[in-house]
A and B are shown apart, each in its own frame.
Chain A
């Protein structure tokens, strides 16, 4: 059976991880490549890197990061951040990225999804969506959830799917950072009408939250950052728990 995926997400700035990491056996907690390697050894199924470097050197530092990860890590990874045109994606593909993630660039220019899917295949294109609940509806937000758009989340996700998104990474900004669990209700609603994989993000605080999101919403993958980086959840233990609850997990 196809296994549910556990995905640690690493925020990277100027080639260094941003959020703190306290693995005991890590020589350099700021080195995204070493961290990625550690996660792969622990049983992470996939990795997401979000490059938030803002300088004009961004493209080069991102490419260097992708190359280093591809050289040393034997599981798939996605790179997001600053991808605005085909040329950005092309460089990352040839540097060894398995997938790219686009967020605000897709909202500003939805046709970018079509172009990327046609050029590289839909399996390469992850559309990341940040959503927030406003007046009884779910709206797509930009700039880390600060800027509301007029796009309703479900409609935008269906549009992205029809344009050639290969996967959707949905972050609930209402849940993100709360450690109170994923937004299983919204995730289930979206997942039930989606024919491409859905990655849940936002709200993971403990192991039970991962059990809940897979059992209640049947999403394909669950992503988290700080609970993994701070060692609050250890991936081998999490996978053991999930397996005990009858959730298909790669051993």
Chain B
């Protein structure tokens, strides 16, 4: 069963609705002790990375997430939390993946936020993208991005620059887009995550 980290970071109704549609069972993780009840974990997140990190620390979950050996999927700000640092509010984050989250502004000439459907290019062999086209469109809405990295980037997207649309480091996965809002491709990705291991 999938546990959803419930730390008050924005709306999770759309995510649980998508899991309901797909028949993926889930429960809420409010405390450290509840992590053990689930075989995989989703970290949702909307809004401000620094504020999300403070909420995660206040819930006592921040210290435990990095110790997990089961599959963990961060979505949007939930993925950014996995990195070491965000320019959003100059925030130190979980530092599970040694990358930085940066602001689009002043780095690209395109509009910010990056809102809409953009192509996600993944390499072969990433289980999270099984049965998903190599240039499939996913729905993005964000102003901060995780830098591209040859080791940890599982899929990239171009928006004025090449950034990490998806990360993988050991059992830790992340997607910058919203699979729960990305039509059939997004639903396939959620199914893939629920079938990992």
Contact = CB atoms under 8 A, between A and B. Distances in A.
Interface of A: 1-3, 5, 40, 45, 67, 70-72, 74-76, 93-98, 120-123, 166-167, 194-197, 220-221, 250-251
Contact of A96 (B11, B139, B141): B11
B16 to A, nearest CB: 9
Given A71-B17, A123-B143, 15 more contacts: A2-B110, A2-B116, A2-B117, A2-B118, A67-B13, A71-B20, A72-B21, A74-B21, A74-B187, A93-B10, A95-B13, A120-B47, A121-B46, A123-B113, A220-B111
B115 A70 contact: no
B14 A70 contact: yes
B113 to A, nearest CB: 5
Interface of B: 10-11, 13-14, 17-18, 20-21, 46-48, 110-119, 137, 139, 141-143, 158-159, 178, 180-184, 186-187
A93 B11 contact: yes
Contacts of A195: 111-112
Sort A-B residue pairs by CB-CB distance and give the 4 closest, nearest first: A96-B13, A250-B137, A250-B117, A3-B117
Nearest to A77: B181
B113 A122 contact: yes
B143 A2 contact: no
User: B111, B116, B142, B181 — which one has the most chain A CB atoms within 10 A of its CB?
Assistant: B116
24 contacts: A2-B116, A2-B117, A3-B116, A5-B117, A45-B116, A72-B17, A72-B21, A74-B18, A74-B21, A74-B181, A75-B182, A76-B139, A76-B178, A95-B13, A96-B17, A98-B181, A121-B46, A121-B47, A122-B113, A123-B113, A166-B113, A195-B112, A197-B115, A250-B137
A135 to B, nearest CB: 31
Contacts of B182: 74-75
A52 B90 CA distance: 42
Contacts of A221: 116
Contacts of A97: 11
A59 to B, nearest CB: 17
A126 B14 CA distance: 19
User: A5, A76, A93 — which one has the most chain B CB atoms within 10 A of its CB?
Assistant: A76
A194 B183 CA distance: 29
Contact of B13 (A70, A72, A121, A166): A70
A94 B11 contact: yes
A131 to B, nearest CB: 20
Contacts of A5: 116-117
A196 B114 CA distance: 9
A1 B118 contact: yes
A220 B116 contact: yes
Given A74-B183, A75-B181, A194 B111 contact: yes
A3 B140 CA distance: 11
A215 to B, nearest CB: 18
A197 B116 contact: yes
